[in-house]
A and B are shown apart, each in its own frame.
Chain A
Amino acid sequence: MTDSVELLQCQQVRLQLPGGFTLGPLSFRLCAGKIYGLLGANGAGKSTLLQLAGALKTPQAGQVLLKQQPLQQLEPRARARQLAYLSQQQPPSDMTVQQLLQLGLLPHKALWQGDNAADKAAIDAALMQVGLSSKATARLTQLSGGEQQRAHLARVLVQQAELLLLDEPVNHLDIHYQHQLLATLRRSGLTVLASFHDINLAAAYCDELLVLQQGQLQAVGTPEQVLTPALLQQVFGRPCLVDRSPFDGRCRVTFAPEAQ
């Protein structure tokens, strides 16, 4: 497969948070149409990296380029049409699912524009993709954690951006929806950078993995290249066994349990 078009590029970005944690300096690039998995222990900087890539935080050094243009120089609405971000935690809200999804259309709307039939169709399509068509008028507070997460993913899909930055998108989802959702993202042809805790899920659906440790990129590459017992031991501090899944031949990691 030939190398596809470069969509997002991080060049020597570095960010120090008020608490003292420093991310980077690190560089990587995301190519169009691929699914990237972000792995790392708690506090490794996964969320911070996603926020940097999503222009929610500004790097103190280096720069992030979206299609060769510095992210911070893009007009915010134009940026939001190309890049959608889903944070890890959402505040409780009394909004209905439909109202939440309408928010996703914001970057496509001028101030004076109303809602039209095309918006409705886009919202319905996104709800269909996450299996929430029957809950369009439900309030978010009435949904289960997994349903809320799916509603938020639908909001991100409605935004119609080429690049999705998702902070633990399969959080709260049951096994069925974990797989269904990642398969949907694969089929969509969109570029995705998503953080995961489930390494096997990431290995099954991601084209490439980025492994973070204490704010530094430890490894970047295909799951086969990256997921070695030595690296996993170094990053997660546990011995493990890496073999192949009997279903699709992709990497499968089994961590050794704590001795009892």
Chain B
Amino acid sequence: MRLSLSVRCWLLLLLLPASALAALQIGVVELPLWSLLSGQPTDALPGQVFWQLRLPRVLLAGLAGASLALCGALLQLLSRNELADPYLFGVVSGAALGATISSLVLPGLALALPVAAFAGALLAVLTVLLLAQRSNAHGMHSVSTLLLTGLAVSFCASAIASLLLYQADSFAANRIIFWLMGSLSRADWPAVSILAVSLLLTLTLCSLGRRQLAALAWSDDMAQSLGVAVKRWRLLLLLLCALLTAVVVAYCGGIGFVGLMIPHLVRLLFGTQILLLLFGSAVGGAVFLIWVDTAARTVLAPQELPLGILTALCGSLFFLLLLNRRRSPYES
């Protein structure tokens, strides 16, 4: 049985608040959710757990999942490559390098790590864009250049980070390795608001530029002949993707596979209409990461599982299952 498109859209949309509510309820500390949300007086502890820990964490999970999946969908559209992923553009390795350096230089400062990771991520992406721009000037094909440059910069940053860690003490190395596995335990309100604003900005731009995106997804020639300022749009969207991913990586570490997998799932379930694909990816990514994070903090409670391990594990298994059952719409 196949549900109609609009029914599927509504189901996905309803799944988001339902998942968020469920995730708020599930946890080590039992929370009187209704009294908290309706503002009735409760004990101090549940209130604190709810407002300072659980709510920002669930929100950050949703926002990070939405951002990663949206970036994945956007990059796949822009590069016209189904294997494009926010991690391909050097963001994570750049962030890891930044985090490594800050861990070694300023081990005591808690705020240094996200800031350094963000700076590293942004620096890596800018390097990729700049290098790709230069090779394009020499007549190389833009999309493949971008992906290849991203890969090269990734490897370079990873190598330097590994070298530094190899030389460093084991405490710093542990810190970085765990950070790279991904976690939302750092969730707080500043993180939530920064990510919410960046995500909203990107979604707004995507809605306004839906026609430009559709033309860019088709081919550069098509976009240019339709009067789209190809270079300007591509640069703007790439920078927004880099910014979003850098914020996510800085706060949450490495959360792999969401950006690659969710857009694929959405394409299989909802087709390739641009807005449906982008918004579907955002909502799907949010739902996915909310549940994965809920699992991460409850399965082995009170111990917490690294998020990146879970996303990669359940993501890849689910993905293999789906690929087996359905054919990609790009295959004839």
The residue that B225 contacts in the complex, of A75, A85, A93, with Cβ under 8 A, is A85
Asked whether any CB of chain A lies closer than 8 Å to the CB of B144, the reply is: no
Give the CA-CA distance A55 to B227 in the complex, in Å: 10
Which residues between 87 and 104 of chain A lie within 8 Å of chain B, taking CB atoms? Answer: 87, 90-95, 99, 102-104
The verdict on A87 contacting B226 (CB below 8 Å), with A18-B139, A106-B211 known, is no
The verdict on A103 contacting B219 (CB below 8 Å), with A91-B80, A112-B208 known, is no
Q: Using a Cβ–Cβ cut-off of 8 Å, how many residues does chain A contribute to the interface with B?
A: 34
Give the CA-CA distance A109 to B211 in the complex, in Å: 9
The residue that A80 contacts in the complex, of B139, B209, B227, B272, with Cβ under 8 A, is B227
Give the CA-CA distance A69 to B229 in the complex, in Å: 19
Interface mask (B250-276 → A, CB under 8 Å = 1, otherwise 0)? 000000000000000000000111000
Judged by DSSP, the binding face of B is: loop
Total A-B pairs, Cβ < 8 A = 70
Tell me which residues across on chain B come within 8 A of A112, comparing CB atoms: 208
Asked whether any CB of chain A lies closer than 8 Å to the CB of B214, the reply is: yes
The answer to whether A76 and B332 touch across the interface, beta carbons within 8 angstroms, is: no
The answer to whether A76 and B219 touch across the interface, beta carbons within 8 angstroms, is: no
Tell me which residues across on chain B come within 8 A of A61, comparing CB atoms: none
Tell me which residues across on chain A come within 8 A of B155, comparing CB atoms: none
The answer to whether B330 and A56 touch across the interface, beta carbons within 8 angstroms, is: no
Tell me which residues across on chain B come within 8 A of A104, comparing CB atoms: 226
The verdict on A103 contacting B218 (CB below 8 Å), with A18-B139, A95-B272, A111-B208 known, is yes
Least distance between B221 CB and chain A CB atoms (Å): 5
Asked whether any CB of chain A lies closer than 8 Å to the CB of B174, the reply is: no
Tell me which residues across on chain A come within 8 A of B226, comparing CB atoms: 80, 103-104, 106-107, 159
Asked whether any CB of chain B lies closer than 8 Å to the CB of A79, the reply is: yes
Tell me which residues across on chain A come within 8 A of B227, comparing CB atoms: 75-81, 106-107
Asked whether any CB of chain B lies closer than 8 Å to the CB of A23, the reply is: no
Tell me which residues across on chain A come within 8 A of B221, comparing CB atoms: 51, 56, 85, 87
The verdict on A99 contacting B273 (CB below 8 Å), with A94-B329, A106-B212, A112-B208 known, is yes
The answer to whether B225 and A56 touch across the interface, beta carbons within 8 angstroms, is: yes
Give the CA-CA distance A80 to B227 in the complex, in Å: 5
Give the CA-CA distance A90 to B80 in the complex, in Å: 13
Asked whether any CB of chain A lies closer than 8 Å to the CB of B228, the reply is: yes
The answer to whether A103 and B222 touch across the interface, beta carbons within 8 angstroms, is: yes
Tell me which residues across on chain A come within 8 A of B273, comparing CB atoms: 99
Q: Using a Cβ–Cβ cut-off of 8 Å, how many residues does chain B contribute to the interface with A?
A: 24
Give the CA-CA distance A78 to B211 in the complex, in Å: 16
Give the CA-CA distance A141 to B332 in the complex, in Å: 7
Asked whether any CB of chain B lies closer than 8 Å to the CB of A54, the reply is: yes
The residue that B218 contacts in the complex, of A76, A85, A93, A105, with Cβ under 8 A, is A93
Asked whether any CB of chain A lies closer than 8 Å to the CB of B135, the reply is: no
Asked whether any CB of chain A lies closer than 8 Å to the CB of B74, the reply is: no
Least distance between A8 CB and chain B CB atoms (Å): 15
Least distance between A230 CB and chain B CB atoms (Å): 36
The answer to whether B224 and A55 touch across the interface, beta carbons within 8 angstroms, is: yes
Give the CA-CA distance A107 to B329 in the complex, in Å: 28
Give the CA-CA distance A111 to B224 in the complex, in Å: 16
Report the nearest A residue to B219, measured CB to CB. A91
The residue that A111 contacts in the complex, of B209, B219, B222, B225, with Cβ under 8 A, is B209
Which residues between 110 and 168 of chain A lie within 8 Å of chain B, taking CB atoms? Answer: 111-112, 141, 159
Report the nearest B residue to A51, measured CB to CB. B221
Give the CA-CA distance A76 to B272 in the complex, in Å: 26
Which residues between 202 and 247 of chain B lie within 8 Å of chain A, taking CB atoms? Answer: 208-209, 211-212, 214-215, 218-219, 221-222, 224-229
The answer to whether B332 and A103 touch across the interface, beta carbons within 8 angstroms, is: no
Tell me which residues across on chain A come within 8 A of B272, comparing CB atoms: 93-95
Asked whether any CB of chain B lies closer than 8 Å to the CB of A10, the reply is: no
Tell me which residues across on chain A come within 8 A of B228, comparing CB atoms: 76, 106
Asked whether any CB of chain B lies closer than 8 Å to the CB of A35, the reply is: no
Least distance between A159 CB and chain B CB atoms (Å): 7
Give the CA-CA distance A85 to B225 in the complex, in Å: 6
Give the CA-CA distance A55 to B211 in the complex, in Å: 20
The residue that A103 contacts in the complex, of B139, B214, B229, B329, with Cβ under 8 A, is B214
The verdict on A76 contacting B214 (CB below 8 Å), with A18-B139, A56-B224 known, is no
Report the nearest B residue to A19, measured CB to CB. B139
Give the CA-CA distance A102 to B218 in the complex, in Å: 13
The answer to whether B211 and A102 touch across the interface, beta carbons within 8 angstroms, is: yes
Least distance between B64 CB and chain A CB atoms (Å): 28
Name the residue among B80, B209, B222 with the largest chain A CB count within 10 angstroms: B222
Which residues between 151 and 171 of chain B lie within 8 Å of chain A, taking CB atoms? Answer: none
Asked whether any CB of chain B lies closer than 8 Å to the CB of A84, the reply is: yes
Give the CA-CA distance A6 to B306 in the complex, in Å: 68
Give the CA-CA distance A112 to B204 in the complex, in Å: 10
Tell me which residues across on chain B come within 8 A of A77, comparing CB atoms: 227
3 tightest Cβ-Cβ pairs between the two chains A and B? A80-B227, A77-B227, A85-B225
Add 5 more A-B contacts to A56-B221, A92-B332, A102-B211 (CB < 8 A).
A51-B221, A78-B227, A87-B222, A99-B214, A107-B226
Which chain A residues have a beta carbon within 8 Å of chain B's beta carbons? 18, 51, 54-56, 75-81, 83-85, 87, 90-95, 99, 102-107, 109, 111-112, 141, 159
| 17 A-B residue pairs with CB within 8 Å | A56-B221, A76-B224, A76-B227, A79-B227, A84-B225, A85-B221, A87-B225, A90-B219, A92-B330, A93-B218, A93-B272, A94-B330, A103-B215, A103-B226, A105-B211, A106-B212, A141-B329
